[in-house]
Each structure stands twice: as structure tokens, then as C-alpha cells.
């Protein structure tokens, strides 16, 4: 179950660092000895901010820095430690209308931004504070709501008002769309990749059967999956169909310079749908890199946590949420041989099922909830190593912290 935690806010995504006017739409960060923060603004510009960290360069991940003083609330204790102030570094102009989301690549000095102007921009940081536009990608036919990087490849996903998700990679010299994921019946509000360290792993995987092992191997080969959530109230899991022979598994570097590289396009399929708990548009989700649990939230004010499990054979145990249909008696001959039919719905055709394990209603009073994310717990109330808390933000203007108990 989820319980609201009264302790201090720790390590959320960065709070509103404002430039010019308006709260940023989405903020991202990375750690390079000094912390770097990128903010996307309603005024169509992105800002880059820097701050020296104590013990910087020692590899202390930014996520563990305690922001309880000063920064979290805005100006409360602003006078303490001026060195810890965020320093405005550079402004990135180019978009025509407000920036909806941005993200630093975890594998290269790239920043992806997206906007209501229907475009996705990729920026490369050449040296400090010198950002060059690498690509302006305009295939989407509507506002681009969210961008997210693959954890191990230079592969960017974008979600749009045109109901589609697109994946982008560099092809020879140019960035281009390498996959189009269709299926959602409304604006796709959020996309996110699975963590690289536990691809396809399940929360409870004690001993695995041969069949299950094959599924895990397949997933390992396919790489991190992708989650998307939409105005159509659904949350979908997408998986790449691995290529037979792929010389460059990372997809980067210079592939043979053929005119059209047929190794470029990727095929992704809808692997599963999460139980449909939300009754209104789903605005955000977050896939825990540590536990593999997924949290989602949206217009109905609910926060829901899901877990992926092995289907337990033929037992038709409690179906927590009507949509999980299990085919009794047929633990299926599936998944070992590609491809799982594209029409596969509600997780049928795999050996796993997604289950909603916790739900909070009215998480932010009667208001819509816009964002939820997992964060490593670091306060005194921490109950075990690597405990994670959920952080949510709502239209009531509040940031809330939730603990999760299984």
C-alpha cells in the first residue's frame, strides 16, 4: 500500500528553477562532478544550470544529494551557502512554443527537447556551455509531450498529441525516426524506458522454468522495454523485436554508408497492457530502475503501483483489476519463438502478467496529479537499503512523498 510520508522531501526531480517566467515544464539532471540541470520553459527556451557539489567528482550521484535546505522549497533558506546556488549557464533557443519535456542522454553528451511546436530537437554539448543543434526532428503531427532516452543506446523516444510514439536514432550522419509505435487512441503523455540493469526481470523470480528462462533471454536480447501512457487511459509496454544479425548492437557509430541502411529501422510491438485502473487520462508514469515496479498517475487523481509477475499456471487467483484475463489451463507455448503476435493484448501471449499492487485515490486532494517518480530514500526514516519513495506533484501546487509497503 501507499502511505504519505511526512518526512522531508529528498532527491525529487529538481524543483522549479525559473527563468524568465513560468514554471518549467520538465526538469532533468545529470552528474559530471558538477551537477547540471536543464529546464524547459513555457517561453520556448531551455536553460542549463550548474552547481558545484561538495566532494564533486567523487562520483556521488546527484540523486543522493539532500535538497531539504533551500532548494526544495524555493527561497526558504536561500541565504545559506551561496556556493550551493545553481548558476545559470546558458540558454538554448530554437523551439517555437513551450518546451514540454527534455532529457539528458545517459550515454553521450546529448540533450533531447520537445515542444508544442511538434518538433524534437537534439543538442550536443561540445564543450562547457556550448551546445550545438544536432537535429530537428519534425515527423510528429502534433505537440510532442515527452522525450526519454534509452539507458544504454543513443536512442530517443518521443510521445505526442498525434497519439503516436516515435523512436529516433542516428543513421549514418543524420538523426531520423527508426520506429513508429501506433495503437494509442489518444494523446500519449509520457514515455519511459526500462532500466538497463534489470531488463525484463520480475519482482519475484526465485526459480525459473525453462520456458520462463527463454522469456528472460528473449528480453535480454531485445533490450530495455518502453512504457507509454495516454489520454486513452491505458498504459502499454512495448518491446523491440531483436534483429537476427546485428553487427552493431549499440546502433551507434558509423555503419556502412549505404544510401538507405536497412539495418536502421526497428520493429517494436505492444507486449502487454497494464491493468486499467485509471478512469481519466494518464499523465505520467515512472519505471523503477531498482525494483521494476511502475507507478502511474493522472487526471483522476490516483497514484497506482504495478508489478510484473509470472503467471501462476492455471490458478485463477484473484484478479485485482478486471482487465487481467488469464487463460486457465493453457500456460501457453509462447514467447520462445518470435514473434509474439502484434495483436497480443492485455499481456496474453507472454508468461507474465502485470498486477496493480497499490492505489491511492485523491492523492492530491481533488486535483489532477501531473507527475510521479521513484526516488531513493535517504532520510532518517529509511527502513532498508535502497528503499524507494514515490514523489508526486499535483495541480494543488504540492509535492508529496509516499512510502510503499508490499
Partner 1 sequence: MDADKDNANPTIINPSDLPSRRRSAPTTKRKGIFDELAPAYPSLADPFSSAEASSASSEFDGEERREEIDEQEVYDLISTISDPEHPLSLGSLGVAKLDDISVQRPTSPRSRISTVTVLLTPTTSACSLTTVIGLGVKVRLLQALPPRFRVDVRIKEGTSQTADEVNKQLGDKERVAAAMENRNLINVVNTMLATCE
Q: What is the binding site for partner 1 (CB under 8 A)?
A: 42, 97-98, 100, 116, 143, 145, 161, 186-187, 231, 279-281, 299-301, 361-362, 365-368, 395
**Largest pairwise CA distance in the chain:** 66
Q: Which DSSP string corresponds to 201-228?
A: --S--SS--HHHHHHHHHHHHH-S-EEE
CA–CA gap between residue 66 and residue 77 (Å, rounded)? 14
* Nearest of 194, 227, 239, 195 to residue 350 by alpha carbon: 239
Residues in the chain, overall count: 406
Cβ closest to partner 1, residue 143 vs residue 353 = 143
Cβ closest to partner 1, residue 204 vs residue 362 = 362
Q: Write out the three cell numbers for 148.
A: 526519454
Cβ closest to partner 1, residue 66 vs residue 319 = 319
Cβ closest to partner 1, residue 69 vs residue 186 = 186
Smallest distance, Å, CB 328 to partner 1?
29
Q: Write out the three cell numbers for 172.
A: 549514418
Smallest distance, Å, CB 215 to partner 1?
35
- DSSP H helices, 340-383, are none
Smallest distance, Å, CB 367 to partner 1?
6
Cβ closest to partner 1, residue 183 vs residue 349 = 183
Cβ closest to partner 1, residue 246 vs residue 280 = 280
Smallest distance, Å, CB 399 to partner 1?
18
Contact 90, 131 (CB under 8 A): yes
Smallest distance, Å, CB 40 to partner 1?
12
Smallest distance, Å, CB 397 to partner 1?
12
Contact 278, 233 (CB under 8 A): yes
Cα angle value 56/58/62 (rounded, 5°): 60
Amino acid at each position: 500500500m501507499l502511505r504519505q510520508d511526512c518526512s522531508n522531501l529528498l532527491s525529487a526531480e529538481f524543483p522549479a528553477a525559473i527563468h524568465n517566467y513560468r514554471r518549467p515544464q520538465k526538469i532533468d539532471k545529470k552528474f559530471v562532478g558538477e551537477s547540471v540541470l536543464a529546464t524547459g520553459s513555457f517561453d520556448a527556451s531551455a536553460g542549463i544550470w550548474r552547481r558545484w557539489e561538495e566532494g564533486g567528482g567523487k562520483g556521488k550521484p546527484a540523486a543522493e544529494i539532500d535538497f531539504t535546505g533551500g532548494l526544495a522549497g524555493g527561497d526558504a533558506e536561500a541565504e545559506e551557502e551561496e556556493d550551493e546556488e545553481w548558476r545559470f549557464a546558458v540558454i538554448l533557443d530554437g523551439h517555437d512554443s513551450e518546451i514540454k519535456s527534455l532529457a539528458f542522454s545517459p550515454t553521450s553528451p546529448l540533450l533531447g527537447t520537445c515542444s508544442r511546436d511538434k518538433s524534437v530537437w537534439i543538442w550536443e554539448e561540445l564543450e562547457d556551455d556550448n551546445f550545438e543543434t544536432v537535429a530537428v526532428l519534425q515527423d510528429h503531427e502534433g505537440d510532442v509531450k515527452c522525450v526519454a532516452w534509452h539507458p544504454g543506446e543513443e536512442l530517443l523516444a518521443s510521445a505526442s498529441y498525434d497519439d503516436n510514439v516515435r523512436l529516433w536514432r542516428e543513421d549514418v550522419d543524420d538523426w531520423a525516426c527508426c520506429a513508429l509505435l501506433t495503437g494509442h487512441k489518444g494523446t500519449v503523455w509520457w514515455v519511459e524506458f526500462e532500466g538497463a540493469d534489470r531488463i525484463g526481470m520480475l519482482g519475484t523470480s526465485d526459480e525459473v522454468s525453462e520456458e520462463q528462462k527463454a522469456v528472460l533471454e528473449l528480453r535480454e536480447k531485445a533490450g530495455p522495454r518502453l512504457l507509454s501512457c495516454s489520454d486513452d487511459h491505458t498504459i502499454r509496454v512495448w518491446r523491440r523485436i531483436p534483429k537476427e544479425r546485428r553487427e552493431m548492437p549499440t546502433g551507434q557509430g558509423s555503419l556502412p554508408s549505404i544510401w538507405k541502411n536497412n539495418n536502421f529501422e526497428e520493429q517494436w510491438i505492444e507486449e502487454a497492457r497494464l491493468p486499467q485502473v485509471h478512469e481519466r487520462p494518464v499523465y505520467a508514469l515512472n519505471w523503477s530502475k531498482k525494483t521494476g515496479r511502475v507507478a502511474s498517475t493522472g487526471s483522476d487523481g490516483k497514484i497506482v503501483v504495478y508489478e510484473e509477475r509470472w503467471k501462476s499456471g492455471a490458478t485463477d487467483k484473484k484478479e485485482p483489476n478486471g482487465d487481467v484475463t488469464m487463460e486457465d489451463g493453457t500456460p501457453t507455448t509462447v514467447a520462445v519463438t518470435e514473434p509474439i503476435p502484434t495483436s497480443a493484448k492485455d499481456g496474453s501471449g507472454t508468461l507474465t502478467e502485470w498486477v496493480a499492487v497499490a492505489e491511492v485515490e485523491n492523492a492530491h486532494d481533488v486535483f489532477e496529479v501531473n507527475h510521479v517518480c521513484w526516488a531513493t530514500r535517504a532520510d532518517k526514516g529509511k527502513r532498508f537499503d535502497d528503499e524507494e519513495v514515490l514523489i508526486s506533484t499535483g495541480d494543488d501546487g504540492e509535492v508529496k512523498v509516499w512510502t510503499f509497503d508490499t
